[in-house]
Structure 1
């Protein structure tokens, strides 16, 4: 059983009007604990609760609650100061770790279980105000055995984001720079290995769009995900019908939607596993249909006329796209890492590899230059180049690791 206590004393009003990506600190902590399936989330304070669905309890209430706990069960109590802003990975680690933990030397977050929890419940009967509990999160004495860990002790690699980033942990003070905190939170939620357009062009516009939309609770990330999926499937129809300019515009809107929805969901703690599954399941088929739409347009509907250079180019794109995706999937299963995130050379090539944004960029340049058919041919050529590069890297890495393992044995 996991129980979280968010502690707020008389300093809390200093921060009541502060928000990070549209959420007050207590509201953010509450959502994070709920996301990790905590059984109870308590707001311990003499002040009114800042959220509607979490009541405020005082010290006598907390004492009664603690005395009613069955300490024979596996119960873990987490106490966190109300001005803490922390990475989800820290909550997950402390929840799943066997030892009792205090985060950082400065404290502000502590987990208690077993004998430490028994000692704390006894100590709780002597507590007179919230400030004593806050002090407890900062420094423990005997008989408590609590391990102090810092974010630097954690594995910084985030597999889902292909990103190396040390988990963030802030205690907001009166003069803290909230914008700087928000920027660091954004960096921790932006994929590490991306094409150069995402990395160097729309990364920061997307950050500002996300910051702006986070102020409006009615803007659900799932709505933006729906728009992204809708746009991605509208593009092939527009390509097939020859509306190249509108297809290009719709495609770029899709990329903005696709980047904003995940950031907004993570930074406002409104993740939807269903939306994520649907988005990932529809992503690859949509791009395949882009190629089908382009092939239909440039081959004038002669989809299976293999004496036509445009039909050949189109089928080259459609075939190698799936073969390359399959090969990359095999690599991930075998080496537990994406092929375009394995080494510096792979990350560098991924900046320009034949993936969604680069595909649309090639088509866009061709449209602007009045060379749409030539851009289609170049797109097929670049898909071949990307496939060959990934195939050679798969062979090279597999052989290198095989030789290395044989030498070790």
Structure 2
């Protein structure tokens, strides 16, 4: 399979720091599409002075040619392999590349004055001699939203495919806003969903334009996470809160930055998700030690210290319960039904417990808040356990399709 990009229709706009050709190439690489060649067709225009993305596993060839978009597209079609076609003024959902690559037969996706198509060699005669890719591919079967598998496991929700034309600053701003919000998870906590986004938005575009790798953001987040523990334990709560909230915001920034710039990596996922899972109990113990007045008072004769150990046990149990559902259904419990997504908004998690404890500490109720958080974790465990048992007990797999 080849990828053909009509650079005769191009745009000077850069979306999150990347021109649209670079976004096409990175999206293809991210989706692991097996390509024999990428053809960037500049038509009758001058050959650009940029160098194409170097880390593709196939040759990237820049060509010139006379004629309409249809003429040049026909010239690119080989006798024995299909071709993906798009243009350099469009921005496509990366999933569309994989979807079209896995299909058979010629077809096209059209939306917002943009087109991406799969063309089989046998259908070369159906390609029209027309000036735009949309008109060129008019005879091909059109892919609709209902045809497309929209669920995104990482985002815990369904996301319809998107395809945009980006030819001016207004369109670029609109697309960047759309992409930013489309990368939020469908089930998440109240603060991540409603409080932190303005701060995350203020950071992601400049970081993307500066080509800052998301792993760099994750490392800063790890440093803040670790620093918060001794600050809490030594009673420097406000400095600890500053580190903790900084980490909470950066925890959204690195994921958005990775997905919006196609720079997510295996090590980044391990660092980010590993940090999310491991660090909360350390913060809770830090709170307890700080409230007790230091390590000297941290022994099992103190009810607060006992509560901290109960919190650890409940936290581990809750994670194990959630793992049961994930092992069975290959997705998170909070994607099961709308009710579960709503519950995810306020259950006992770091981003709920941290503001609750902060406000209580500010008014002198830190001790009472800690006990309440332990109770809230117990109720969260109870809900997850009961819900998992109910789902497993009532789950009936769909009957297999007759052969």
The TM tier, using the shorter chain, reads: 0.7 to 0.9
- What's the offset of the Cα at 1:397? 2.2
Distance 1:276 1:137, change over 3 A: farther
Q: Residues 362-401 of structure 1: matches in 2 within 5 Å?
A: 362-401=356-395
Distance 1:345 1:301, change over 3 A: same
Q: Which has the higher mean CA deviation after the structures are superposed, 43-52 or 83-92?
A: 43-52
Does residue 27 (structure 1) correspond to residue 31 (structure 2)? The answer is no
Distance 1:63 1:201, change over 3 A: closer
Q: Who is 2:52 aligned against? A: 53
Distance 1:44 1:397 in 2: 53
Does the aligned pair in 2 maintain the 1:7–1:133 contact within 8 Å? no
Q: Who is 2:41 aligned against? A: 44
Tell me the TM-score normalized by structure 2: 0.84
- What's the offset of the Cα at 1:206? 1.3
| Other structure's SS at 1:8 match | strand
Q: Which has the higher mean CA deviation after the structures are superposed, 340-349 or 44-53?
A: 44-53
- What's the offset of the Cα at 1:162? 0.9
Q: Who is 1:290 aligned against? A: 283
Tell me the TM-score normalized by structure 1: 0.83
Q: Who is 2:58 aligned against? A: none
Distance 1:315 1:281 in 2: 21
Distance 1:98 1:273, change over 3 A: farther
Distance 1:356 1:51, change over 3 A: farther
Distance 1:53 1:335 in 2: 41
Does the aligned pair in 2 maintain the 1:245–1:367 contact within 8 Å? no
Q: Who is 2:106 aligned against? A: 100
Distance 1:405 1:151, change over 3 A: closer
Q: Who is 2:269 aligned against? A: 276
- What's the offset of the Cα at 1:267? 1.2
- What's the offset of the Cα at 1:204? 3.1
Deviations 1:348-374 (A, max 9, x none): 221111111012112211222132222
Distance 2:332 2:152 in 1: 12
Q: Aligned residues, how many?
A: 382
Distance 2:337 2:136 in 1: 41
Q: Who is 1:323 aligned against? A: 317
Distance 1:252 1:52, change over 3 A: same
Deviations 1:325-351 (A, max 9, x none): 110010122233322222222222211
Q: Who is 2:69 aligned against? A: none
- What's the offset of the Cα at 1:382? 1.1
Distance 1:99 1:368, change over 3 A: farther
Distance 2:117 2:270 in 1: 34
Q: Residues 14-163 of structure 1: matches in 2 within 5 Å?
A: 15-16=11-12, 18-38=13-33, 39=35, 40-45=37-42, 46-49=45-48, 51-53=50-52, 56-59=62-65, 71=80, 75-104=81-110, 108-112=115-119, 116-118=120-122, 120=124, 134=133, 137-140=136-139, 146-163=140-157
Structure 1: which 5+ runs fail to align? Answer: 141-145
Deviations 1:91-136 (A, max 9, x none): 1211222343211376621112xxx32553x899x98xxx657366
Distance 1:235 1:23 in 2: 35
Distance 1:394 1:308 in 2: 34
Does the aligned pair in 1 maintain the 2:218–2:272 contact within 8 Å? yes
Does the aligned pair in 2 maintain the 1:81–1:134 contact within 8 Å? yes
What's the RMSD between the two structures over aligned residues?
3.1
Q: Who is 1:241 aligned against? A: 234
Distance 1:133 1:324, change over 3 A: same
